[in-house]
Amino acid sequence: MNFFKKLLFIRKKKEIVFFSEGKYQWKFFQKFVCDILSKTEKKVFFITSDKDDHAFNLNHKNLEVIYIGKGFLRMVFLSFIHSKILITSTPDLGASYFKKSPFVNKYIYIPHSIGSTHLTYKEKAFDNFETIFCVGENHIKEIQEREKKFNLKKKELIKFGYPYLKILREEYQSKANKNNNSNDSCILYAPSWGKDSSLEYIDLSSIEFLTQNYKVLFKPHPMSFKKNKKSLEKMTKKFEIHNNFELVNSSDNQSLFSSGLLITDWSGISFEFFFLKDKPKIIFLDTPIRAINDKYKELGIITLEEKFRSKMGLVCGTGSEQIINAVKTIMKTENLTDFDNKGVEKKILFAYNDSLSDCLKIVMQDIKTK
């Protein structure tokens, strides 16, 4: 689609539009996009800033994927697009380049994390959405408390769940059936990003020790290539010649499947690993809490991350001896925790299959409005 066709597309009245910042977000849209296409005859437009977005791989008569790039065109595109609803996994609506279009009836947010809304997002990240699809009761309570505390307009809070976990589980079980399941000889190190990332604290001699005894998969967050560039490059250069060290892509699920142990800090990947595995083994490095919203305590609700961290795995320091001892301990332990991960999942996550009909109903009702 050339520039002028894109401008014409902006003014064309549409019913359902998805917006994605990049291909890494497709996994959070995938189930819902496919369910809309399979259960309705509605035309779906998927606009993306990434020319390599995985949405381009989905071939369906009622799906049109449009690349808009970044910069000025994207800002114009989003500021003036016409649609009855716009669904996105990008927070901070109304800020930066992501302005609200006066020609969109309703903005719907799809979660891309299980973690608490008042910790790992900016303070006003969800204030301008009309509807939030919620992972679990914690999201509902956190958003309602913010609305009450700051006298904000009440949003439509819909039970949604975390369908990406279903995708992960299906892929994991499929590969496990091919004898490609996880093993304790493989360790996944997946830190969060930013100034409080364990990348900025970890003693690299601990990685040296691990590569002598285990296969170490290093999976940095995409943002670390910008925000932790020096520390990331230091680690990769030091271990790039090691046969037992491998830098893996953030969208690579195989690293999650094949690893018997996860080492992380405050990354949301811990929830995915915990719910995916039958006997999850996780080491949490004791770094400062990763709070995008430094006012998160003002809400008065303990975050999901703080509540379950010590129950999901071992917490240890970032020193070499501390990490090595933690790994030795955890590898010798058959059942690290008596914390029932399947029971916890039912407790804190809405079941997507149970929520789907209500979510589709919301969408169908919204596109009937004038």
> 249 with 334, same domain?
yes
Q: Which residue has the tokens 């902006």?
A: 10
Q: Are residues 113 and 211 in the same domain?
A: no
Token pair 């809400």: residue: 299
| Residues 141-145: contacts with CB under 8 Å, at least 24 apart | 141/301, 142/116, 142/117, 142/118, 142/299, 142/301, 143/117, 145/299, 145/300, 145/301
Does a structural domain hold residue 223?
Answer: yes
pLDDT tier, 368 (very low <50, low <70, confident <90, very high otherwise): confident
Residue 318 has pLDDT above 70, yes or no: yes
Is residue 169 a part of any domain in this protein?
A: no
Instruction: State which amino acid sits at residue 354.
Output: D
Query: Is 341 part of any domain?
Result: yes
Residue 291, domain member (yes or no) = yes
Average pLDDT in the 57-81 region? 94
Specify if 167 maps to a domain: no
Check whether residue 185 and residue 327 sit in a common domain.
Answer: yes
Q: What three-state secondary structure class fits 248? A: coil
Kindly tell me if the per-residue pLDDT of 178 is higher than 70: no
Residue pLDDT, tens place only, 243-297: 999 999 887 889 999 999 999 999 999 999 999 998 899 999 999 999 999 999 9
CATH number at residue 298: 3.40.50.2000
**Is 175 part of any domain?**
no
pTM, full prediction: 0.92
Cα gap 22→69, rounded to integer Å: 10
Q: How far apart are CA 188 and CA 16, in angstroms?
A: 38
Residue 158 sits in the same domain as residue 186: no
Mean pLDDT of 45-62: 96
For residue 115, give the nearest of 293, 295, 343, 318 by alpha carbon: 293
pLDDT (mean) for 123-130: 97
- Residue 171 placed within a domain: no
What band does 179 get if pLDDT is binned at 50, 70 and 90?
Answer: low
Does residue 164 register a pLDDT over 80?
A: yes
Residue 272 to residues 17, 123, 206, 217, 345: CA-CA distances in angstroms? 28, 24, 25, 17, 10
- Say whether both 28 and 125 belong to one domain: yes
Q: Are the C-beta atoms of residues 239 and 205 closer than 8 Å to each other?
A: no
Residue 213 lies in a domain: yes
Is 364 found in the same domain as 340? no
Banded model confidence at residue 176, pLDDT cuts 50, 70, 90: low
Same domain as 46, residue 103:
yes
Whether 142 and 233 share a structural domain: no
User: Are 13 and 125 in the same domain?
Assistant: yes
**What's the distance, Cα to Cα, between the start and end of the chain in Å?**
28
- Cα(114)–Cα(266) distance, rounded to whole angstroms? 12
CB 85 within 8 A of CB 367: yes
5-23 mean pLDDT: 88
Work out how many domains the chain is built from and give that number.
2
Amino acid at 73: L
**Residue 243 burial (CB count, 10 A):** 7
pLDDT value of residue 11: 83
Do residue 207 and residue 192 come from a single domain?
Answer: yes
Q: How far apart are CA 199 and CA 189, in angstroms?
A: 10
pLDDT mean over 349-367: 92
Do residues 35 and 114 share a domain? yes
The answer to whether 42 and 367 have CB atoms below 8 angstroms apart is: yes
Q: What is the pLDDT of residue 21?
A: 94
Residue range of the domain that includes 41: 3-162+350-368
Read off the pLDDT of residues 187-216 as tens digits, 9 standing for 90 and up. Answer: 999 999 999 999 999 999 999 999 999 999
Q: Please indicate, yes or no, whether residues 312 and 259 belong to a single structural domain of this protein.
A: yes
Mean pLDDT over the full length of the chain: 92
What integer pLDDT is reported at residue 177 of this predicted model?
55
Q: How confident is the model at residue 351 (pLDDT cuts 50, 70, 90)?
A: very high
The rounded distance, in Å, linking the Cα atoms of 353 and 310 is: 30
From residue 297, alpha-carbon distances to 127, 137, 310, 320 in Å are 18, 18, 19, 32
In this structure, what token pair is assigned to residue 204? Answer: 């690299």
